[in-house]
Amino acid sequence: FETLRKYPPVAFITRESVQDYKMPDSNLVLDKGTGVFISVLGLHHDEEYYPNPEVFDPERFSEENVKERHHYAFLPFGEGPRNCIGMRFG
């Protein structure tokens, strides 16, 4: 899993805002229907979820560590009904 975190096969995922959303600490509002690009690489290298993100550490995915992390902090194949079709066959 650590290799997929460091080098995700999907660069970004796209979503659409389902309601108006005000960005925290900003005056920016995403209107309902606005397309949003989410950088999987950026997420997987965010120190909030992965301390020392440039270091290869397979222990990040131990049972204990996975329980402490938000479920959507690891998205190597995307998430939801349009995620990687090959994942179901792997």
Nearest to 13 by CA among 74, 89, 90, 87: 74
Residues of the chain with pLDDT under 50: none
Residue 86: its pLDDT value, please? Answer: 65
Report whether 84 belongs to an annotated binding site: yes
Instruction: Identify the domain containing residue 75 by its residue range.
Output: 2-88
Residue 11: its pLDDT value, please? Answer: 87
Percent helix, strand, coil in the chain, to 5, is 30, 20, 50
- pTM (global) more than 0.85: no
Could you give the number of structural domains in the chain? 1
Nearest to 50 by CA among 37, 41, 60, 40: 60
